Structures are given as structure tokens and as C-alpha cells.
Amino acid sequence: MTLIVAILKEGAEIVTRSPSCTTKVTSSHWGAFEVSVADNRIIATGPFSEDPYPSRIPEALPAAVHHRTRVARPSIRRGWLEKRQRSGRGSDDFVDLPWDEALDIAAREIDRIRREHGNEAIFGGSYGWASAGRFHHAQSQVHRFLNCIGGYIASFGSYSTGCAQSIMPHVFGVNFLKMLYEHQDGWHTIHDHTDTLVMFGGINPKNSQVSMGGVTEHDTAGCFEGFKKKGMRLINIGPQRSDAPDGCEWIPVRPGSDTALMLALAYVLEDEELTNQAFLSSHTIGFERFRPYLMGDADGVPKTPEWAAPICGVEPGIIRTLARHMASSRTLITVAWSLQRAEHGEQPYWMSAVLAAMLGQIGLPGGGVGYGYGAIGGVGKSVIGLRGMTFPQLSNPVKSIIPVARIGDMLRNPGQPYDFNGQRCTYPDIRLIYWAGGNPYHHHQDLNALHDAWQQPETIIVNEPWWTATAKRADIVFPATTPYEREDIGRTNLDDYLFHMPQLISPVGEARDDFEIFSALADRLGSGQRFTEGMVAEEWIKTLYEAFQDVAAEEGVEVPDLASLKERNWVKLPISMDAPNRSLFAPFRDDPDAFPLGTPSGRIEIFSKTIDSFGYEDCPGHPVWLPPTEWLGAATEKAPLHLVSPQPGDKLHSQLECALADADGARPATLIIHPQDAESRGIESGSLLRVFNKRGACRARALVSDSIAVGVVALPTGAWFGDPGSNIDPDGNPNVLTMDVGTSRLGQGCSAHTALVEVAKLSSDGS
């Protein structure tokens, strides 16, 4: 039989595929893959046969699932258990308890908080990326449980797109995520109709490995090969050449300055009479309010290429040539999510829409503007979305919400007012946090400040498979199963595959799935029947699947019954769609009166009376250039380099990091630095570094490369945050360095890409 080499980090060993070895396909957020199991242990993974460009992320799975950092038993922090101490989170040891005892303690504490302080004192944290399975979706599980017991403070948006989710409905009058996933041109339409693809922030196949619910056929790289063969002009505008596939033109730009570049492009269009005035007149509103700012009549500063050049670092001649080319060809402007993950992130998103409107190609196949291509694999997939298989969360009696990236502010400022998207809100006084399915010490900014704020609530409960930084900073930790230790169904609206996800191994240690944990807690709190509706997990999966069958039948799509799917493991559904244009802007373009947008005017809002009425100086009534607090234009001797923190290429967020970090030389994480910046600091590839600013410091290992702009360094996210008390994060988590400020009073999104740092060489022992 074939030998399978499994690098199990607690002692490498060679596992022989014996007659007892089984191999099944399962699904994940990074796609489908084969899993081989022997003796109740995952021993290897392999690529899915139908995936043209399979991700290598699953290679770390066998070691991660069986890793020494798994939470083995229900655990309660000693200081909280014995004295109800809030301090000590992150440094205390834990006491293992039997399940029933731990559940009793947790239920009593939840009940005490809701009786003494109300459900408005409970924050339900989750991020939805724990599993691609439709039933064991951690976010749905924890929210349903909390809704069953009286509700909780919820969050709005995501760290990825929270700013865009706030600003773009004002501009286009549509839910941003709906536009993103359902109404943008697919790759086939772009191939057939686009002549020039202008990518602000690039389109990175590395990021498109993952998608909500998974993407089975990783085809972004293949699509770009097709674009090149066609002769499409591909222009990557951003600080890193690697943010787009090889062979694309690269225009290096300073981070945070894209709005200035877009304004200069718009100036050339207007100054050289290349603007599509007819489209502006018929399909937009407010250009007459924006134009005086653009041309300098309002503030005495024309937004010329000469004005923009020292801001964005792009020569005036390049800007003029690009503007003319965009006006003379079918041009699609794409904008990466990273641009709105920065202070004033509303501005490049709004300005990209204005620039596309001035070109007049919005609504044409392969033209206009699109957002998030390459951010995840689902954007650009042309499939008919089939609804269904969503574990119902029920209604939340508590109506207050906070922007998701303002968790630190919420904990630091209970009862204090703040502005959000035209509303004057008040931060709740959170006494209990229940977190399941996420690691805020990966997503959040300024982690040292978050660690301090995290000491404020009376109780923190976490369901977690591994001892992540979040689990270490909890008071009660319930060991949760991974997707490989339970049965589920894999399916997303952005994909045309359907998977039965079999239970591959028994739960590791005493782990239980979230449904079982919340069922037990709900029973203790008198809401067991409401939570379970009298069904166990297997019955819920069957119920959700049958509902999905009904939805598919309504769409004329035949899917196998559940028994057949289990036997077959997976099927490809006949729902691919190569429509010439699925954009919601196509009918609007043809007849804006018959198909108005959802804005107050029914048009694309270049000037928004609504936003203007908010009176926000950091987000006025039309797009403007607003310099960030930290960027290369404000660099200092102590912090002269701009840090960008892209998504990692070897994992999803911080998942599987426990195994990846075990490999020799894998940590600290790699920081990319330009040769000019490296030489002046005596840095070579492989040098051990200290990356620091006034907020904190972390270790990193240098990679010297001219693929990044001068003055910019890149350190990917995903390294687990270290223990408190250290003056330097050991493995290289960039969020010890990033700013925890809202993008503006309108969006209140995260500003991860607004950070200045310095880099210095460390000795070989890291001192």
C-alpha cells in the first residue's frame, strides 16, 4: 500500500495506509479536500480532484487537529473561580472540571448577569469563520442561544468590509454585501468585455483561496491567464507587486493615498473633456457640488496630477496617460477591501464610484466599478444562488448594536456616546462576553490596548478547540469540536458544489460541538425546548437539508436526497451561469426612471444630502482627500515606515497557526522590506527584526525584496498573539502595532492599514 507521510508536530512519524485507512472528501472555507483517517486519527490530506488550483492550506490540518494546544476538558480560570477576579486574564492558570459542573457554573453566571444587569449587558461575539458547515455554524449557534435567553448586544459589519457596508448604500442604494456577491460581473463577463482592468489594491489569488462557506474550484489564477492571452491590460495599483498575478503592470502607490490618485485621474477627465457628461446628467446626482472641489474652485487647490504626485508617489505623466487610456477603452475599476480598512476608508470607495461614473461605463458588461475581487474566492463566481440550510438565529429582543471594530472602545467607555452612520449612540455596559467561532486577538487592532480593556467585563466565556489568545483570556472555556469531529453539510450560495461532511474522527479529548454545549446551557436556563425544538443535531441537519431541497426544486435544480448525498460524498449542482451581465446597474443604465437605485434620489449619489446632514468633518457630503493620522506624509524619525498587514497565504486568518508555527524557522512571521530601507538599517533577508511603534513591538524575520514600495513594510496577520507582560510579541502579530480608531464617524470600521513603524535588527537570540 502507499505510504503517507504525516508530519505530526509532536514527533514526526510515518503512517502506513492500512486496510483500516479511509479517505473522504470534506469541505472548508478554503475549499474541498481529501482527508485520510486511520486509527481514529487524521493522518494526511490531499487535493480535491475537481479543483484546478487546489489550496495547500489543508496540509497543516493533521497536525493542527491533534495538536498539544487543543483544549482537552472544560476549564475555568483559577482567579475567577476562586475569587471572581477580573485581572489575570491571559496569565492565570486554569482548573479542569467535569462537564456538568462547568455547565452549572456557566449557566448560573449567565443567569446572574441577565437578572442583575439585563441582557443589554451581554455581548455575543462570533465571526462566522469557524466552519464551512451549514448547521455547525458557530455564529448562528451562539446567537440563537443568546436570543433564546433574552437577547444580547450584537455587532454590525465585519473587520473586512464594515466601512464599505456603511458608506456604499449611501452611494448606490443597495446592501453592499448583496451587491458584492450577487450583482457584480463574473469572471467570464470580464474576460469577454473588459479591455482595461485597473486594480486599486490588486487582485490577489492568495486571498481568493478562501470564501464564506468555501470555494471549490479555485480559478482566479486561471482567469488571469485567460485575461493575459486575450491581451487585456492589467494594472495593479498598490504598494506591493505581489498583490496581483505575475505579468500585471505595477504602479506603486503610497498606502492611504489612493483617493488622491483617483481625484487626479478625475481631474484629467474633466480638464480634458473626457467626462461622460450625459451619463452624469441622467444617472447621477451632485456632480455640480463635487466639481468645484475637484477643480479647485472651492478650496483653491485643483486636484491635478502635479498636486497628487507628492501625495501618492505616482508621476504626473503616468496619471495623465492612465486617465486617457481609461476613457478610451472598456474599463473596469476594481477596489480591494484593504483600501477601506484604513482611516478615512470611506473616501477611496466613494471616489472610485465617482470616477467610474465620470467614465460613464457603469452598467455596461465588463465596465464600471467592482469591489472585493480577489478578496475571497466567491466574488466573480457566476452561479445562481440557492438559499437555504441556515440554522435560524431567531429574533434578538435587544436592538442595540455596535460597529464590530469598536469592541475595544465599547469595553473602555461604557455609557459614553459615539457617532455611527448618522446616529448618536451609547456604548453599552458589558458585564459578560460569550464568544464562539472566532479569535478577536487576530482581527482586532492595538492588541495591547484590547488586552487591558478585556479585563473590564465580569465574565468571559469561550467555546474553542485550541488555547488561542482569546481562550487564554477567558474565564470559562468549553472545548469545542473541529469540523472533522462532527457531521455537517457543506454548501454556499457562491459555489456550485454540495458536500456531505462526514464525521471523520471522534471528538478530541472531551470536546463537544457548539449545539450540544448550548443545548445543555439552554436547558439549565429554562430555554432548552426553544433552542433545540426537540431535535438533536442529526435531525436538524436533515430538516435544513430538506428545506434546501425544496428551495432548489423551486429553482428547477434537482439535488439528491440526503441518504444519496451521504453515499456519494459530494455532487456538482447544475447552477453555473455565464450570463453576459448580472449587474443590478444594467437595467438602471437602460432606464434609470423605471429602475431607480435605492438612494434618496434614485441615482448614484456623487453628493449625498444625507451624509452632508450628519455634519461629519471626517466624512463630508462628497468624496475628499483626507490625510490619515499615520501615513508616509506624516512619517517621523521614530516611525518612518508604513506598515501594511495583508492576509496570510498559508491559512485562513489565524486558523491552523498552532501547527504552522511548529515548523523550524516558520516564526516569527516574515516581514517584506525594500532593499533601500533594508540597507540603511543593516538588514538582510533572514535577519531577525524588532518592529515597533508607540503602541507595541513584535519580532519578525526579514525578506528583502523590490516587490514592495520604498518606505513600506508588509507583515501578514495570523500569528497568535503572545502572553501579557512581554515587551515584544514573539511570533510577529502585526496588530500589536495597528491603530484602534474608527475609519470615520460614519463607518466606524477598522483602520488596520493606518500604521507607522520602525524596524531594527535584533541579535540572533532575539534580544
Q: Annotated active-site positions, please?
A: 127, 129
Instruction: Retrieve residue 173's grid coordinates.
Output: 442604494
Instruction: Retrieve residue 578's grid coordinates.
Output: 455565464
Are 407 and 158 contacting, i.e. CB atoms less than 8 angstroms apart? Answer: no
Q: Are strands 13-16 and 3-6 parallel, antiparallel or unpaired?
A: antiparallel
Q: Does the N-terminal peptide bond of residue 668 adopt cis geometry, omega within 30 degrees of 0?
A: yes
No. of helices (H) and no. of strands (E), the chain: 26, 31
CA 539 to chain centre: 32
Amino acid at 13: E
For residue 604, the cross-strand partners are 284
Compute φ and ψ for 655, nearest 5 degrees: -65, 145
CA angle 668, 672, 675 (to 5 degrees): 130
Contacts of 395 (CB under 8 A, 6+ apart): 147
Region of 569 on the Ramachandran plot (φ > 0 left; ψ -120 to 50 alpha; else beta): left
What's the CA gap between 753 and 77, in Å, rounded? 34
CA angle 340, 343, 346 (to 5 degrees): 45
Cα separation of the two ends of the chain: 49
Taking the CB of residue 695, how many other CB atoms lie within 10 A of it? 18
Q: In 3D, which of 761, 714, 722 has the Cα closest to residue 738?
A: 714
DSSP per-residue letters across 471-486 = HHT-SEEEEB--GGGS
Compute φ and ψ for 690, nearest 5 degrees: -110, 120
Q: In 3D, which of 637, 713, 611 has the Cα closest to residue 671?
A: 713
Helix (H), strand (E), coil (C) string for 544-567: HHHHHHHHHHHCCCCCCCHHHHHH
What's the CA gap between 387 and 28, in Å, rounded? 19
Q: For residue 500, how many C-alpha atoms fall within 13 Å in the half-sphere facing its CB?
A: 21
What's the CA gap between 224 and 244, in Å, rounded? 9
Contacts of 41 (CB under 8 A, 6+ apart): 62, 66, 505
